[in-house]
A and B are shown apart, each in its own frame.
Chain A
């Protein structure tokens, strides 16, 4: 194929002769006016976004947050629970660098550690908490009593690095089924049949409340979302979140909360440590 000549021999010029230059000047003037308008408008738009007010505990300008929320809508629109984070050979797993120590101060005794649970359909087992709402208490043996799963997935940090890690733990989904979260209608929860009736969010916090994440219910129920007590074949260390942490490979690592002390099912979107510092709340991969 040959490129056509330009101007082609039968091209009829817009203007020729003495009038051509004058016409060109008119066209240029008109175009420059258009350009100035376009530059002004785009500058105004970008500047307005960049300086839109930063809501309290939001970390980025409001207009960017608005787009992140629209992106979340699009992502949840195409989300499918049967899409998995790819698995790798166990031999490719590496030592994961410890990137966050929030909420991990002090030692913790696994045998006496209690995870508080709130927002269940049936709260009759709730135990009064000192200066706080009553909560159902579960222990690590509860979690270890659920069917264990092992996955080898690529842990993706929001910073950009990634590392293949082997996780072992119970599916959060199985715990949710066992506990029965509250429903919007008030009826008995049916996890698989009437998922839309469940409280739409899950909140998790460290025992001291200094690190906290929020999850959408679909992601919490994903088959690869595990409450982990083993990493790369060894029990979790303190800095990796012992006695139990979350591994959620369909989200960025920021959602993999360590040393879980509280699980709460809720109708309101839970606060999220990194979302308050400007990051996407959804953080779904």
Chain B
């Protein structure tokens, strides 16, 4: 199948993306160790995470006394170490995207909503037509812009609950200490939801698409290229 190699993802963005993966994982895991100590959120009349979940995830561990103990101190230690990496990596990513012009592909535009709807219909196999050939389609633009905005939200609410006296203005602005904690937690649940969909979509998009996130180049078949040009 004849094709051509096209530059898709800049080196910097690939590094930011892959660095973020273990960093965000460590933040979520240590965040869970912290949340365990005061797990106040409910779904209906049930606690959000049952004890069995904490045991399965090794959030709690059996002590010498045979009882299960949490690891809040350890969680705080990791969380307040990796927060720096999360913040710096995220800030550099946004800065790079802004300066390089890469934001043009990522930010939603006029056609985004309509296109996102087409993507959903296409993915649900309701619509057969080929999707427009873009770096990121409308659904991706919405998802990726949202997740970066969420990251900024985590950073702000994180600062607000980390230093609520020194940055009391921020904590009050965002609705108070417990409101910030609530937002901080549910943004994390949002990442988990994003992650599941992201993985499923990466799998369905296939190896060629995934490879572009590692090598930076995507191999595009000549017929695909011709077909997209025909759409214009």
Contact = CB atoms under 8 A, between A and B. Distances in A.
A158 B72 CA distance: 9
Interface stretch (A83-91, A125-133, A175-183, A231-239): A83-91
A270 interface: no
Interface stretch (B58-66, B159-167, B192-200): B159-167
Contact of A279 (B76, B141, B168, B171): B76
B74 A18 contact: no
A144 interface: no
Contacts of B163: 75, 284-285
A79 to B, nearest CB: 7
A16 B72 contact: no
Given A5-B134, A7-B220, A23-B5, A67 B109 contact: no
A79 B168 CA distance: 12
Contact of A24 (B2, B38, B172, B217): B217
A160 B229 CA distance: 56
A64 B78 contact: yes
Interface residues of B, number: 57
A81 B144 CA distance: 41
A85 B77 contact: no
Contacts of B109: 1-3
Nearest to B80: A71
Interface string B195-232: 00000000000000001001111011010010011000
Contacts of A35: 18, 214
A20 B73 contact: no
A15 interface: yes
Contacts of B97: none
B51 interface: no
Contacts of A157: 38
A134 interface: no
Question: Of B4, B112, B228, which is in contact with the most chain A CB atoms at under 10 Å from its CB?
Answer: B4
A85 B104 CA distance: 42
A159 B6 contact: no
Given A2-B110, A159-B72, A278-B73, A28 B38 contact: no
B172 A86 contact: yes
Contacts of A17: 2, 4
A249 interface: yes
A15 B111 CA distance: 31
A285 B159 CA distance: 10
Contacts of B74: 60, 64, 278
Nearest to A15: B5
A49 B26 CA distance: 13
A230 interface: no
A187 B222 CA distance: 85
Given A24-B219, A156-B164, A159-B37, A68 B5 contact: no
Contacts of A65: 77
A20 B104 contact: no
Contacts of B81: 49, 64, 67
A192 B171 CA distance: 30
A51 interface: no
B112 A14 contact: no
B124 interface: no
A61 B30 CA distance: 14
Contacts of B135: 6
Contacts of A32: 214
Nearest to B34: A160
A207 B50 CA distance: 40
Contact of B5 (A5, A14, A280): A14
Counting from the closest, the 4 A-B pairs by CB-CB distance are A278-B73, A160-B38, A16-B4, A64-B77
Given A28-B211, A59-B73, A160-B34, 13 more contacts: A3-B105, A9-B229, A16-B2, A16-B4, A28-B214, A31-B216, A60-B77, A64-B77, A75-B166, A158-B37, A160-B38, A160-B40, A285-B166
